[in-house]
Structure 1
Amino acid sequence: MSRALLPKHVSAVIKCQKDPLKALEMFNSVNKEDGFKHTLLTYKCVIEKLGVHGEFEAMERVLSEMRMNIDNSLLEGVYIGAMRNYGRKGKVEEAVNVFQRMEFYNCEPSVQSYNAIMNVLVEYGYFDQAHKVYMGMRDNGIAPDVYTYTIRIKSFCKTRRPHVALRLLNNMPSQGCEFNAVAYCTVISGFYEENYRIEAYELFGDMLGQGVCPNVTTFNKLIHTLSKKGDVQESEKLLNKVLKRGVSPNVFTFNIFIQGLCKNGSLSGAVKMLDGFMMEGLTPDVVTYNTLIFGLCKNFKVEEAECYMRKMVNNGFWPDAFTYNSIIDGYCKLGTIQKADKILSDAIFKGFEPDEFTYCSLIKGLCQDGDIDRAIAVFDEALGKGLKPNIVLYNTLVKGLSQNGLILQALQLMNEMSKNGCSPNIWTYNLVINGLCKMGYVSDASKLVSDAIARGYLPDIFTFNTLIDGYCKQLNLNSAVEVINSMWSHGVTPDVITYNTVLNGLCKAAKYEDVIHTFQAMMEKGCVPNIISYNILVESLCKARKVNAALEMLQEIKIKGLTPDIVCFGTLLTGLCGNGDLDGAYHLFTRMKHEYNISHTTATYNIMINALCEKLNVSMAQKLFWEMGDKGSAPDCFTYRVMIDGFCKAGNTDSGYNVLLEKIEKGFIPSLVTFGRVLNCLCVNHRVHEAVGIIYLMVRKGIVPEVVNSIFEADKKEIAAPKIVVEDLLKKGHITYYAYELLYDGIRDKKLVKQTQKRFKPAIFVTELGGDIENGDLSIMFRAFQKPTSTLKSSESFNNKVGINEVPG
């Protein structure tokens, strides 16, 4: 006699079955067994199996059958499971329908049902609806429990109100609910999310002081908030606290730390953490490797990422789609398509099927590389292999075509989209509009916007901002303003980027009064200016010679809670120097670091040095020039040119000459104008041998007219090149005729040339060159480079301001 089939046997088989439809088939087949009848247990198991796998139509059919066979008052647990499964798949409306049908089918919802639907609503941002559910629960006389309060706390934190969440947390004991780690950590996460680091850390300490310690799962959720911000140090502080209370990190904890390290660019730290896994007795998983590989690829260390993929395989883990796609995308962004192809070929050989992300990465990389034909071939291959046409794939190719100026092909592709069952969206239009504007065809872009509107595609903020930017770059400001006015009629509110674009256009067009009026209108419309807005306003005021008004903006910027940046100070320095107020410029220059904690850059030094040299205050310019290196701002080509020009104008030939040689030693190539200035000064001072040495140095460094490179015979080239260089300098007006005559005679004087090649005497007449200069090694020359005493008298008021009267020799 066979044993009777019991509901517990059926439910056990359903739970073990991986395929939900096979589980349903088995569930239906047992009805044919004599004497067997489904119970709440079997119904619940199959409904859960179908819901978890997203088979909702089948799930609803079983729910209907269950209602007819089981007492509905017992079905709350099933309904809660259905709501949660709908929620996991983002089907919020369906979850709400389940909740609302409970009472209709005589199943009175308890606090657990209310909690389930509120949690779904909060997770997907339906905060007002969640609050209404809460109020309905209270109206029905159902008391909230600890989970209700935790969900409410999460709602306040997600709406950026952590202080309100904290008040609710503190009220929990008075409502008969004990503190729990989940509620605490939710509030702490809310504080960290809004950058209230001190409050968050103190609350974490209070939680532990109350004897409430999170388990490792709750703790992982907390540090994941910090990980997304790349704040690993704060995570370490929290980890050290819970370690003392016996919480042991698991592999997920380490994965989160690796994610945080990759986020803030600490790749060496992430690598060390992975290598230290074994020391902690933990085994990294696929997620661990994928997190590190993704971080390395994002920071353009794709070859290192590929090495870790091989290590991953050696340790018994198979790369998945995320692994392959990360590396393929990384190589495509680097422009090394061949390596991406190799990875893809190997992956396909191992069973990987390219997906939408794979093809999009390849198309982007090929378009970036200018290989449009192959990008189109890859697109066709994707569709040919059965990939369903979708908006992301089409937009990727449309973007590539538009960026390469192939607007007609992009428009043709847009027309094909609809035929393939994939309609373009406004972003498709935006990509082509952006391409047209970058090519200067703004009127055509405007027509395309009109076409999009006629086809029912409403333009968004990006559409209008792109069009406005195109008009402003052409200084067609009237059309730009017309576009802004039309935005309101389409229900689009101009944002700070819109106004900044127009402000910048007005500033470039020298319409400084309009800049001020537009800035005021921007604030009247409720659009809050950012630092870029203020930078444009400051630039406009400086160009209008209203430098004092521009300086007053510094205070307004601080009042608005913004911090002036290096661009703002650079503009102000330029304005002060342009007005001849070097005292005021130097005062602001020193205030930058002390008052605003803004470090100087090469650009700010250049502004000051250039202004000082123009006023022939070379001694002060020289002081700043020496200071740059000590402050971590290396002189650039412009700095050297300005210093050389300043020295030459001041008649300080030695310093101008030595700075020229230093410039070449640092790897900068001086302009012909700069060479000409130094050569003229040397020739005026009858230092022809050094001037001739510079001509030969130019030849050796390849700073010669193109005609020299057409001379293939070395002997002829060696003789002709110096003469050609000198003639070219005269022809272009870089040297005087007097200097030309001396140089021409000098390079023909074999005795002088020989002397120049054997012994080269710079400003202090001690530097041995010999074969070093022929090898391009100028280091010996600079051992003799000294800080020469300036022969110029500086402005007394300026020098008294900075506390020096003369630069020491």
Structure 2
Amino acid sequence: MCGKFSTLLLNICIGSLCKARRLDKAEFVVVDGIRLGCLPDVVTYNTLIAAYCRFVDFDQAYLIVSRMKEAGVKPDVVTYNTLMAGASRHNLPSQCQYLFQDMSKNGVVPDEWSYNTLMHCLFNCGYPEVAFKIFSDMNSSSVSPSIITYNTLINGYFKSGRAVNAVMAFRRLQKFGFSPELVTYNTMLHGLFKSGKRGQARRIYKEMRESGIAPNAATYTTAMKCWFRSRNFEDGLDIFSEMMSRGYTSDVFAYCTVISALAKRGKTEDARVCIRQMLKNGQGIDLACYNALIYAYCKEKNMNDALLLLNEIEEAGLECDGYTYSTLVDGFCKLGDFSSAMNQMRVMETSGLNPNLVAYNSLIDGLCKAGMVDHALSIFKMMRTRDSFSYSALLHGLCKVGRFHVASKFLLICARKGINVLKSSKRAVLRGLRCSGFGRDAKKLKAAMWKAGFLHYEK
């Protein structure tokens, strides 16, 4: 059972077992093959290396190189590329660089995939300068960059915060005669959007459409987010409609983007229609969708419909999170219904969620605006953590009812702890003390705040 055909059969068997993640069986087949005189070749070992990189870990995969050398099989460029891909997948930049250098030492010439894999690993692991150097070395070698190389480079520029360089690389790609693919345009759209360059992202999207490249679901989703963030809601909804009309099965993320945009515009009924469309298409409802609707109802002061959604969330097999309850607390506080707001805080606790800072701040702000400062003070003392908004809301509430000395004590605490409250809160306390005939106390407080480096007072 020797010869080329038997080795090919051996490799087919090992490849099938590796795909099925039966690496133990694949190793037994290698041993049996050797025992029967069917010696493994470089393809055999490369298949095992790929499987170990993917399903076990990089170190176990690298040990196979020693076995190759002992068997008299020389690693080839595929061997090194597979190991580098494994190192990249496990975010091991030093090992990836070592393998790249080891190739040349052993007389193996790196190819395009070697450079691309190393650049991808370095960019992902936060070494953009080294990756740019590798790209320069590639240009000076006999290996020509491909469209995949430029895609990696463009993505790396965006990850390192160099959006301008990414656009320049994109234009250089076109100048050299490469036709950008859909992946390239998607990378550009995503990168420009994340960089806050939404105008350029829209131009790239228009350019892609004019070049005849059909968008996919990822393109549409990124474009929708870009349009919605730019407050071009109509254009964003048009893109969503086009996406649906072209037969793309939108994911939950795309639906949530649209539902959130509709809810923020107050179009709650349209948002509910979108949810029904999700269910019709077999998509599971995300909690974020419900939270967006609850936010919209609270904004409209329609608390009954907001509470009804809690039952729908439970029926869908989901559990409310801190954002859900915080939104309800804020909605009830804006209506002045503090008993219902406190009830939502208790429901949050019974659900195993600790009332968060947002919920507490909404309650304190609402109570202070309603003149219920003593109640706000008791809530404030219950809080484990407080931020600048907590203190600012309380200071305004105390000043509103003329309790300037109590407010000055809290303001002094902020000065000593470095909590930077609103300037309007500082001014309200100082002016309140002066207008109440406590000018000396106001001067002492101001001096203490200057000493703490806290006051940037404007008359």
Task: Please report the TM-score for the alignment, with normalisation by the length of structure 1.
Answer: 0.40
Distance 2:278 2:5 in 1: 61
AA aligned to 1:642 is T
Of 616, 620, 626, the residue aligned with 2:305 is 620
Q: CA deviation at 1:406?
A: 4.7
Task: Tell whether 2:296 aligns with 1:608.
Answer: no
Per the alignment, residue 570 of structure 1 pairs with 256
Q: Which of 115, 119, 140 is the aligned partner of 1:433? A: 119
**Contact 2:76-2:108 within 8 A present in 1 as well:** yes
- Give deviations 1:756-786, integer Å, cap 9, x for gaps: xxxxxxxxxxxxxxxxxxxxxxxxxxxxxxx
- State how far apart, in whole Å, the 2-side matches of 1:613 and 1:556 are: 31
In 2, Cα distance between the equivalents of 1:404 and 1:323?
24
1:452 matched to 2:138: yes
Residue identity in the other structure for 2:310: F
Counterpart CA distance in 2 for 1:534 and 1:624 is 29
1:495 CA displacement: 1.1
Alignment check: 8 A CA contact 2:228 2:261 kept:
yes
Q: Secondary structure at the match of 1:484?
A: helix
Contact kept, 8 Å, 1:364 with 1:396, in 2: the verdict is: no
1:453 to 1:351, Cα distance in 2 relative to 1, 3 A: same
**Conserved in 1, the CA contact under 8 Å of 2:115 and 2:134?**
yes
Verify: 1:394 aligned to 2:77, yes or no: no
Aligned residue for 1:589?
272
Q: 2:48 aligns with which of 346, 358, 378?
A: 358
How has the CA–CA distance of structure 1 residues 364 and 576 changed in structure 2, closer, same or farther, with 3 Å as cutoff? closer
Q: 2:314 aligns with which of 629, 635, 642?
A: 629
Shift in Å, 1:570: 2.7
Contact 1:325-1:358 within 8 A present in 2 as well:
yes
Output the CA distance in 2 between the equivalents of 1:664 and 1:480: 48
User: Deviations 1:468-517 (Å, cap 9, x if unpaired)?
Assistant: 11222344333222222232455542111111121222323443332332
Runs of at least 4 residues off by over 6 Å: 678-683, 685-688
Q: Is contact 1:363–1:379 with CA below 8 Å preserved after alignment?
A: no
User: What's the CA shift for 1:526?
Assistant: 2.5
Q: After TM superposition, list the pairs within 5 Å mapping 1:744-783 onto structure 2.
A: none
* Structure 1 residues 465 and 669: alpha-carbon distance in aligned structure 2, compared to 1, 3 A threshold: farther
Aligned length: 377
CA deviation map 1:277-305 (0-9, x unaligned) = xxxxxxxxxxxxx9xxxxxxxxxxxxxxx
Contact 2:17–2:25 under 8 Å retained in 1: yes
Gaps in structure 1 of 5+ consecutive residues:
1-17, 21-51, 56-88, 90-289, 291-319, 331-339, 696-724, 740-809
Quote the Cα distance in structure 1 between the aligned partners of 2:121 and 2:27: 36
Alignment-mate amino acid for residue 204 of structure 2: T
Give, in whole Å, the separation in 1 of the partners of 2:88 and 2:31.
35
Residue in structure 2 matched with residue 221 of structure 1 by the alignment: none
1:728 CA displacement: 4.1
> What residue in structure 2 maps to residue 297 of structure 1?
none
Asked if structure 2 preserves the Cα contact closer than 8 Å seen for 1:676 and 1:729, the reply is: no
Aligned partner (choices 204, 207, 219) of residue 533 of structure 1: 219
Q: Which residue of 2 aligns with 1:557?
A: 243
Structure 2 gap segments, 5+ residues each = 35-39, 399-459
Tell me which residue corresponds to 1:499: 185
Deviation at 1:432, TM superposition (A): 0.8
Change (3 A) 1:544 1:687: closer
Aligned to 2:152: 466
Question: In the aligned structure 2, how far is the partner of 1:597 from the partner of 1:564?
Answer: 12
Cα RMSD for the two superposed structures:
4.4
667 and 395 in structure 1: CA distance in 2 versus 1, 3 angstrom threshold: farther
CA distance in 1 between partners of 2:177 and 2:102 (Å): 30
The residue that corresponds to 1:383 in the other structure is: 69
Instruction: Answer yes or no: is the 8 Å Cα contact 1:442–1:467 preserved in 2.
Output: no
Whether 1:646 and 2:331 are equivalent positions in the alignment is yes
Question: What's the counterpart of residue 108 of structure 2?
Answer: 422
After TM superposition, give the deviation of residue 439 of structure 1 in Å.
Answer: 3.1
Q: Over residues 135-193 of structure 1, what are the superposed CA-to-partner deviations in whole Å (9 max), with x where a residue is unaligned?
A: xxxxxxxxxxxxxxxxxxxxxxxxxxxxxxxxxxxxxxxxxxxxxxxxxxxxxxxxxxx
Aligned 8 A contact 1:547 1:572 in 2:
no
Aligned CA distance change for structure 1 residues 377 and 615 (closer, same or farther; 3 Å): same
In the aligned structure 2, how far is the partner of 1:652 from the partner of 1:615? 15
Distance 1:416 1:510, change over 3 A: closer
What letter matches 2:276 in structure 1? K
What is the Cα deviation at residue 467 of structure 1?
1.3
Q: Aligned with 2:100: secondary structure?
A: helix
Q: Percent identity?
A: 25
Q: Which amino acid aligns with 1:361?
A: A
Corresponding residue SS for 1:526: coil
Higher relative contact order (CA 8 A, sep 6+): 2
Q: Per the alignment, do residues 389 and 560 of structure 1 end up closer, same or farther by CA in structure 2, a change over 3 Å counting? A: same
Report deviation, 1:610: 1.9
Aligned residue for 1:410?
A: 96
Q: Distance in 2 between matches of 1:527 and 1:461?
A: 16
Deviation at 1:522, TM superposition (A): 0.9
